[in-house]
Amino acid sequence: MLVFVMMAALAAAEQQDPAAQQIILFKEKTSGPVGIMTTSAGAPVPYSEALNTLNTRLIFNEYFMDTMTHLVRERIPERVVHAKAGGAFGYFEVTHDLSHICKAKLFSSVGKKTPVAARFSPVVMERGGSDTSRDARGYAVKFYTEEGNFDIVGFSTPMYVYNDPRLFPTFVRAQKKNPATNLFDANTFWDFLTLQPESIHMFLLIFGDRGIPASYRNMPGFGIHTYQVENEKGDIHFVRFHFTPDAGIKNLRAEEARKISAEDADHLTRDLYKAIGNGDFPSWTVSVQILSVDDIKHAGFNVFDVTNTIPLDQYPLRQVGKMVLNKNAVNYFAEIEQLAYSPANLVPGILGGPDKVFEARRLAYRDAQYYRLGANFHKIPVNCPFRSQGMQVYNRDGRAPVKDNGKDIPNYFPNSFNGPVPYDDKNRIPLIEIREPEPNNYRQASELYMNEMTKEERSRLVENILYSLGSAASFLQDRAIKVFSNIHSDLGYRIEQGLRSNTTKQYQGSSYPYY
């Protein structure tokens, strides 16, 4: 009897891993073959073609021709950054009224639910890389509202790397593999960081305890930009979005992350899929920091600088709602890989950020989607604004999917033949124009190091920096010491002493600049 109980317990344990058991679960919920196999054109495939090609004329075997020619076309261009990801679907529910400052309908009433799609992704890793690399993470949420899709394309850190968008190609290339060796190179990485010291503010978090999340369910998200919003009267305010995991923020230590990576490079993706598949739905509290026009004038710093944070003690979090992820993708490529986020996806009441990084991202993301997915990427189901009154656009033709291609309505505007017309928003206020000074984040970085990190966290930060910096050229190490000393003399001294000690030998030849 005991043996049967143990066997049943083992069987139950196996069923509690929907990621590993996906194909088994599919078999259990289907009573037999789901249908007759067909070619892509819909013609049924006979056994004689499906099970044998020897001693036959291949060009007349449509099953063979169909599958062989499709195989080499099954990969689309990989994202340059954020290529590897986990994702899921769920909803956002309003818990606190925000209508006094923002007229967007997704915030219109307490209890209102809006479908969402979320994608979490390391920045540098290629699709075959490790989930547990030391890296910033993308935190992207698509809200399918009745006014169109609204996207927050954020990060796992409350600040970004630079405030001048010309640096985006430089930042990406410096982190990616050396074009000669095809290896990650600590020299190029530290060359960028020390030439652009405002970037160190974010990387103090990445090299610190926040650099490797224990799971996506325990990872926070931040909109990074200060968004301009408006209410029904046309009054404007400014907000920063925060997503705080209800399960708490939890992270991995470096050695633990390396061990997990050696056994399971897809650890975070697997964990998210398993949790949702078992009904353990992750949730986040969605909050905003709210600033008035007067606040931004007298803040004493540039509230639109994405390399800065906005102090929580001066501008506390105001809860807006909850985000819950309760549905895994049925097909990863169709629903996660083809997810197309863009900061340009805004809705009435949310005008975006007036900073140049936001403006540049509006171009960069759109261009990336056109390149990867084609001109009609909005018509891919996962990107469709399905809750609005349908897309009433004048765009036509192009690479599939075109769906009904606009049917028979006019294809130009303005026209005299009853084509779609713009809506009249009499109270709309344009996005403000700002003048952005050169960034200087030594003050906030120093506060982060001395006031927000414990003694033990500072020690681990130094150790992680040395692990990466130890394999860089000596002139880059010298430059880094100066930058860290500008942040705080203690940090610069500890980095300098660590590099000079014999213990730095263990850091030489690191295969990845963050580790």
pTM of the model: 0.92
At residue 513 the predicted structure's pLDDT band, cuts being 50, 70 and 90, is low
Share of the chain above pLDDT 70, in %: 94
- 365 known member of a binding site: yes
Q: What is the pLDDT of residue 106?
A: 96
Helix 186-195 × helix 474-487 angle, to 10°: 40
Span of 69-73, 492-496, 499-503 with lowest mean pLDDT:
499-503
Q: Are 490 and 481 in contact (CB under 8 A)?
A: no
Closest CA to 285 of 238, 221, 372: 221
At residue 514 the predicted structure's pLDDT band, cuts being 50, 70 and 90, is low
pLDDT tens digits, one per residue of 162-218? 999 999 999 999 999 999 999 999 999 999 999 999 999 999 999 999 999 999 999
pLDDT tens digits, one per residue of 271-295? 999 999 999 999 999 999 999 999 9
Domains belonging to the chain, first-starting first, are: 2-71 (4.10.91)
Q: What is the pLDDT of residue 116?
A: 98
Q: What is the pLDDT of residue 250?
A: 98
Element (H, E) at 143: strand 137-145
- Cis-peptide, bond into residue 414, ω within 30° of zero: yes
Closest CA to 455 of 490, 487, 493, 484: 490
Q: Give the torsion sign (CA, 285, 345, 212, 242).
A: negative
At residue 419 the predicted structure's pLDDT band, cuts being 50, 70 and 90, is confident
pLDDT tens digits, one per residue of 430-477? 999 999 888 877 999 999 999 999 999 999 999 999 999 999 999 999
Element (H, E) at 436: none
Mean per-residue pLDDT, 321-330: 98
Mean per-residue pLDDT, 100-121: 97
pLDDT of 100 strictly over 60: yes
**CA R_g for the chain:** 26
Q: What is the pLDDT of residue 507?
A: 46
